[in-house]
Amino acid sequence: MDCNILLIEDDMHIGNLTKMFLEAEGYTVNWIEDGSMALNKIDSLKPDLVILDLMLPGKSGVDICREARAFYSGMIMVVTAAEDEMSEVSLFKLGADDYITKPVRGHILVARIEALMRRYKLVQEAEKSLYISDAYGIVVNSENQTAYYEQKPLNLTNSEFEILQLLIENKGKTVSREHCCRVVRGIEYSSYNRSIDMRISGLRKKLIQAEIYNAIIKTVRNQGYRLVKA
């Protein structure tokens, strides 16, 4: 299973053995020993999984886990010693997704990593489905306001993107001019206001410039617009 791991462990022997074992299993592993470097590394590497020892020099694993959750959405597995007083509830409240106690056995660690990554991929797919819409090869991402056709970006204005997203979400159906006006920021609906028509015209030109010939925006007289297969 493809997975980029950041290992934060100050014990040289444990860190070296863990890194070697996980790399032998096909994982990509970056290893640091100092807790004070952890947050910058998590931010720059953006690993799928952080394996985090609680007892670290520079900054404790507890602080790292809590502070990382302000910007990091990947998985965190905490490594605890048997005598650590942190309860399971406390670890999960800090932001940990799982924990494992020392001494860590390799096959158990791998099994836990695989379980976490299955969860992580399900979450990513669920989040992606909330933001991604597509029709006739055109894909829009509402999270970052981008649109693509055959993986090539479309150069759209904000209002053109909003109209395209609306039409894609209602592909094959007529969207009223009033609905378009409500969605596009800065346009007040009026039967005499042609602003939305001008934006539709501009969007049509952008689709032609992008060599999108299998989808067209049809004007439905006295009703609105419809994105259909050409």
Q: Are 125 and 177 found together in one domain?
A: no
Both 20 and 47 in a single domain? Answer: yes
Judged by average pLDDT, the poorest of 41-55, 61-75, 86-100, 109-123 is: 86-100
190 band by pLDDT with thresholds 50, 70 and 90: low
Query: What percent of the chain shows pLDDT beyond 90?
Result: 60
Q: What is the CATH number of the domain that holds 105?
A: 3.40.50.2300
Enumerate residues 6+ apart whose C-beta is below 8 A from 222.
none
Residues β-bridged to residue 46? none
- Please state the domain count of the chain: 2
In this prediction, residue 204 has a pLDDT band, given cuts at 50, 70 and 90, of very high
Of 108, 130, 152, which residue is a domain's last? 130
Q: Which two tokens stand for residue 46?
A: 């953006």
123 and 168 part of one domain = no
Q: Do 143 and 219 share a domain, yes or no?
A: yes
Q: 102 pairs with which residues across the strands?
A: none
Q: Please spell the DSSP secondary structure of 2-37, one letter per residue.
A: --EEEEE---HHHHHHHHHHHHHTT-EEEEE--GGG
Give tens-digit pLDDT for 5-29.
999 999 999 999 999 999 999 999 9
> Sorting pLDDT into bands at 50, 70 and 90, what band is 181?
confident
- Do 197 and 83 fall into the same domain? no
213: phi then psi, degrees, rounded to nearest 5: -110, -5
Q: Which residues, including other chains, have CB under 8 Å from residue 46's CB and lie 6 or more apart?
A: 72, 74
pLDDT tier for residue 129 given thresholds of 50, 70 and 90 = low
Contact call for residues 174 and 220 (beta carbons, < 8 A) = yes
124-130: average pLDDT: 69
State whether 201 and 169 are in the same domain.
yes
CA distance 106 to 53: 16
Segment 191-198 shows an average pLDDT of 75
Q: Are residues 150 and 118 in the same domain?
A: no
Reported in sequence order, the residue ranges of the chain that DSSP labels E, i.e. its strands, are 4-8, 28-32, 49-53, 75-80, 98-101, 132-135, 138-141, 146-149, 152-153, 175-176, 215-220, 224-229
Report the C-alpha gap between 48 and 152 in whole angstroms.
Answer: 27
Beta strand spans in 123-190 (E): 132-135, 138-141, 146-149, 152-153, 175-176
Residue 33, exposed/middle/buried by CB under 10 A (0-12, 13-18, 19+)? middle
Mean pLDDT (whole number) for 184-205: 77
- pLDDT grade for 180, boundaries at 50, 70 and 90: confident
Same domain, 66 and 81: yes
pTM of the model: 0.59
> Over the chain, what is the mean pLDDT?
88
d(CA 94, CA 215): 49
CATH code for the domain in which residue 190 is found: 1.10.10.10
**Of the ranges 77-91, 150-164, 189-203, which is most confident?**
150-164
Q: Two tokens at 206? A: 């952008």
Confidence of residue 164 (pLDDT cuts 50, 70, 90): very high
Question: Does the structure show a pLDDT above 70 at 73?
Answer: yes
Domain assignment of residue 156, given as a range: 136-229
d(CA 133, CA 118): 24
C-alpha to C-alpha distances, 68 to 42, 44, 143, 146, nearest whole angstrom:
8, 12, 22, 27
